[in-house]
Amino acid sequence: MCKRRTDAGQALVVVAFGMVILLGFLALGVDLGYLRLMKRRMQMLADAAALAGAQELTYCTTNNCSALTTAAQNALVENGFTGSALFTNCGASSGTLTITVNNPPCSLGSKAADPHYNDKNFVEVVVSQKESAYFSRIFGVTSPTVSARSEAALGSGNNCIYALDPTDSGTISADFLAFVNSQCGIVDESSSSSALTCTLLSSITGSQIGIVGGYSKFLCTISPTPKTHIPMPSPADPLAYLPTQSFTSCGLSNGSPYSGSSSAINITSGTKVFNPGTYCGGIQISCTALPCPNVTFNPGTYILTSTNNSGHTLSTYYGLNIDIGTNITGSGVTFYNYGPAGPITFLLGSFTANGINLTAPTSGPYAGILFFQDPGNTSQAQIIGTSSMNTTLQGTYYFPRAKVVFAFDGPVSYNILDAWQVEFAVLTFASGTFKSSGFGNDYSSLANGSPIKGIGGVLVQ
């Protein structure tokens, strides 16, 4: 009698083989899921480290300063990852847990790949960690490396008017019939109960107004209602990070085109050209007879000083004095009033369509800075101008230890006033027309946004 043949044994083999394959895919899925989870955690760490590093940019005077790299590395510790090895400047990284901090960014290797490549205003962080593979070991994968990259910059601030004097009354004041209209915030750092004052028929308007002390007013308008007794901002001076200039030697040119001078320059007529340099004695441009002078300032930094090469104070020092009726053009210029004495003075503008047109650089260390008076120079400045007389002064007016008397209506895309004290004066004409001093906040022309930086980082990649 013949035995009946069966396929039961063959089916068992097929099922067993199939189970091995299914278990293999399941094991692979577990490992891939774990690595995906760790990838997300690495991205979280990279973002946190980049943000932490960017917040230190204001205080760094060199690339990859220790405060920046320490803050970035500490961000890992605060998120539960200790023992990281630190690398900078796109250095080769290896190890169980590494963090590479690049200021400026460099890992992508070109401007085309990264629009912030080699830009010191951005921080790039790459975090990598070797992970353990569990079931993938059967395929020869034992310690895969998971990495993530992030970039951050310091956020732009929302304020554009600062008074830095910490104690006096009236550190921001509005004179009779003086009007101020700012599209951004106003900060008064004085602890006086009358830190901000305004008088009869004047007005101060900003997007927000913060005062360390208090304010007083008499028949005037302040809008919105100021927030008083705010904490002292940190840093107190938001532009303190800007590099100062030191006096080296006077320029030698004695005629147009100028590239510096050893004595005061007084222009009253003709067409003149100025190049960046050190101007001992300063520059005065005025109109004493028609036709009024036409002056061009080529792009760059103009250092104005009241001393000569021997360190002696010059008998005549103008600072930068631009009088009514002159015709002046300067794009991408910064005037640095080293002093240690003498003001920056602008009066009204021009009678012709050429006018006075000065704009700050859009990039570089003084991006957005038009006037910069050295902290050692306490001479009072006066900036009075109006578009009705063809005046454009676009940029930041920075006078960290000096009072500024201000009345300028623009319009300009942006302007910032950061001074020891600010007095807003009335802007009027013989016709009886009154105008507001205006402040704009469109920083789109600046490569890195407002020179006034915020207190937090912003992720950019």
pLDDT digits (tens, 9 = 90+) for 126-165: 998 876 665 555 555 566 778 899 999 877 778 999 999 9
CB 341 within 8 A of CB 379: yes
pLDDT at 105 over 60: yes
82-88: Cβ within 8 A, 24+ apart? 84/127, 88/64
Does residue 217 sit within a domain?
no
Last residue of one domain, picked from the residues 103, 136, 156: 156
- What average pLDDT does this structure show over 413-439? 83
Which comes out higher in pLDDT, residue 148 or 16?
148
Residue 138 located in a structural domain: yes
Residue 179 lies in a domain: no
pLDDT at 19: 60
Tell whether 244 and 125 lie within a shared domain: no
Q: Which residues of 85-122 are buried (b: 16+ CB within 10 A; e: fewer)?
A: eebbebeebeeebbbbbbbbbbebeeeeebebbebbbb
Q: How far apart are CA 294 and CA 329, in angstroms?
A: 8
In a domain, 460, yes or no: no
DSSP type of residue 115: T
Residues 247, 127: one domain? no
pLDDT of residue 143: 63
- Name the residue with higher pLDDT: 20 or 104: 104
| 142 and 258 fall within a common domain | no
> Structural domain tally of the chain?
2
Residue 229 located in a structural domain: no
Give the range of the structural domain holding residue 151, as residue numbers without chain letter.
Answer: 22-156
Q: Which residue has the higher pLDDT, 421 or 63?
A: 421
pTM of the predicted protein model: 0.75
pLDDT of residue 430: 46
pLDDT band at 254 (very low <50, low <70, confident <90, very high): confident
- 146/241 same-domain check: no
Among 160, 265, 242, smallest CA distance to 206 is for 160
* Assigned domain for 391 exists: yes
CA distance 173 to 408: 15
Highest averaged pLDDT of the listed ranges 4-8, 302-306, 323-327: 302-306
Which pair of structure tokens corresponds to residue 240? 């303190």
Domain boundary among 131, 156, 181: 156
What pLDDT shows up at residue 18?
56
Q: Where a domain ends, among 156, 175, 195? A: 156
Domain assignment of residue 76, yes or no: yes
Average pLDDT over residues 246-255: 88
Tens of pLDDT, residues 20-72: 566 555 555 565 666 677 788 889 888 999 988 888 887 777 888 888 899 99
Q: Residue 6 pLDDT more than 60?
A: no
pLDDT at 209 over 90: yes
What is the residue-averaged pLDDT of the chain?
A: 85
Residues 255 and 400 in one domain: yes
- Are 274 and 388 found together in one domain? yes
Of 110 and 281, the structure prediction assigns the larger pLDDT to 281
Is residue 213 in some structural domain?
no
